[in-house]
Structure formats: structure tokens, C-alpha cells
């Protein structure tokens, strides 16, 4: 079957760094996406990885290892507004997105 695993909840301190992990087992692989979803709002696109390595975009970076079926989202210089759920999704062999349940990130002052 197809499966995306990520931690249910994480807590971090304002100004710190946090890493949210995602492991996947899917039928085929056509890229990995990270989305951010604030409570009561729509998910919004953060990053996309299709090749191994690190993609950096401001305070956010995303890493992919296809051989390990593993990705992480790294958030630096955390701000209170970063409190949200972070969703990992993988494009399968049919180019449909398979979603994880999301990681709720709580930022404390």
C-alpha cells in the first residue's frame, strides 16, 4: 500500500530551528511537496523536491533522499506565525498526490 508518515505534533521555541520529518512508501515517485496549513485556512504550497538534496527558500529548506524514502522540512528563526500544520505529499506513478496526516507545529515564546 501507499503510506506517508510524519509526526503528529511538534513543539519549538520562537527563534529556534525545527526539523519536520516525512517518510514515504508509494507506487512510483514523481516529486515530494510540503504545504503549510494554518488552522481554519487552506493549505498553501511551500516547496517541491524531485531530485536528492536540499532546496532552500528563505527561512525554509526541504531535503530529499529518494533511496531512503525520506524528506524533511527545516524551519529556521522560528516566528509565532509559523504555528501551523505542515503537510507532506508525494506524487505517485499516476501523478496524483498521496498525503500525510500533517504535523502540527506549536511555537512557544
Interface contacts to another protein, rule CB under 8 A: 4, 8, 30-31, 33, 41-45, 48, 50, 87, 89, 91, 95-102
**Smallest distance from another protein to CB 42, Å:** 4
Nearer of residues 13 and 44 to another protein, judged by Cβ: 44
Nearer of residues 48 and 70 to another protein, judged by Cβ: 48
**Smallest distance from another protein to CB 99, Å:** 4
Burial class, 55, CB count within 10 angstroms (exposed 0-12 / middle 13-18 / buried 19+): middle
**Smallest distance from another protein to CB 47, Å:** 10
Nearer of residues 12 and 98 to another protein, judged by Cβ: 98
**In whole angstroms, how far apart are CA 7 and each of 10, 19, 72, 100, 104?**
7, 11, 11, 10, 8
Confirm if 64 and 73 have CB atoms less than 8 A apart. Answer: no
Nearest to 94 by CA among 28, 39, 32: 28
Find cell 519549538 and name the residue: 12
**Smallest distance from another protein to CB 66, Å:** 14
Q: Which three cell numbers stand for residue 103?
A: 504535523
Nearer of residues 35 and 63 to another protein, judged by Cβ: 35
Amino acid at each position: 500500500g501507499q503510506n506517508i508518515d510524519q509526526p503528529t505534533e511538534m513543539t519549538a521555541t520562537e527563534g529556534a530551528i525545527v526539523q519536520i520529518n516525512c517518510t514515504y512508501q508509494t507506487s512510483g515517485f514523481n516529486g515530494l511537496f510540503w504545504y503549510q496549513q494554518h488552522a481554519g485556512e487552506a493549505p498553501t504550497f511551500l516547496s517541491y523536491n524531485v531530485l536528492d538534496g536540499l532546496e532552500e527558500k528563505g527561512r525554509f529548506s526541504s531535503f530529499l533522499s529518494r533511496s531512503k524514502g525520506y524528506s524533511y522540512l527545516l524551519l529556521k528563526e522560528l516566528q509565532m506565525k509559523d504555528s501551523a500544520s505542515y503537510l507532506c505529499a508525494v506524487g505517485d506513478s499516476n501523478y496524483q498526490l498521496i498525503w500525510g496526516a500533517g504535523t502540527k507545529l506549536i511555537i512557544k515564546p
